[in-house]
Amino acid sequence: MKIYIPTNSKLMYIADLLFYGITILVLSVFLLFAAPRNQALGLSLLILCGLLSWTGLEYLIHRFILHGVLPFERWHQEHHRFPSALIRTPTILSASLILLLVFFPISLFSENVWQACALTLGLLAGYFTYSMTHHAIHHWHANSTWLKRRQEWHGLHHDLDEPRRYGVTSEFWDWIFRSR
């Protein structure tokens, strides 16, 4: 059975990045102007918590979903075969998973919708950072030491017969779980 590989046109690839960039902007403006002022510190901490939590999610998703669960594993294998191809999880799927697994559960168990928006905003900012970093790793000429290091680290992930080094934006979890 042939599994669909979500290779995107350049337009759809850019549209996905724009969708998340615009969503982050809209959520930021919404929280900035509509959220109660007396919750500003708590909401800011939740945004930071979501952003920092992304690094762990990035590692777990890359290691256990992209290297272990179909169809994601097959899509990711294609990415390994063709690192410059514009292969991304379809926006409708990634956005639906974020709503179903992040926003809705948090809104059910938090005190108010502002907290769900703040934590989701932080996670989305982390996801967007990951997306841009991963794109830069494969498509840009590195001018910064940080990006050069990311390219070397991720290049090793692609070159090894048994993939290791699952962090894209950070090496932290690879050090913790000894997958470097």
% of the chain beyond a pLDDT of 70? 93
Find the domain containing 88 and state its range: 10-126
Residue 49 maps to a domain: yes
- Whether residue 163 is predicted with pLDDT greater than 80 in this model: the reply is no
- Cα separation, 121 vs 149, in Å, equals 27
Is 81 part of a structural domain of the chain? yes
Query: Above 70 in pLDDT, residue 1?
Result: no
User: For the packed helices 145-159 and 113-139, what is the interaxial angle rounded to 10 degrees?
Assistant: 80
Judge whether 156 lies within some domain.
no
Query: Apex CA 133: angle with CA 76 and CA 72, to 5°?
Result: 15
Comparing C-alpha atoms, which of 164, 133, 135, 137 is closest to residue 67? 164
Residue 46 in domain: yes
Please report which helix (H) or strand (E) contains residue 159, including its range.
Answer: helix 145-159
Q: Is residue 136 part of a domain?
A: no
Q: Is residue 52 part of a domain?
A: yes
Mean pLDDT across 62-90: 86
What's the number of domains the chain is made of? 1
Predicted confidence at residue 33, as pLDDT, reads 96
Answer yes or no: is 67 within a domain. yes
- pTM for the full model? 0.90
pLDDT for residue 77:
86
pLDDT, greater one: 38 or 11: 38
Residue 17 forms part of a structural domain: yes
Per-residue pLDDT tens over the stretch 79-129: 888 888 888 888 898 999 999 999 999 999 988 999 999 999 999 999 999
Give SS3 for 7.
Answer: strand
User: According to the per-residue pLDDT averaged within each range, which of 14-18, 34-38, 68-72 is highest?
Assistant: 34-38
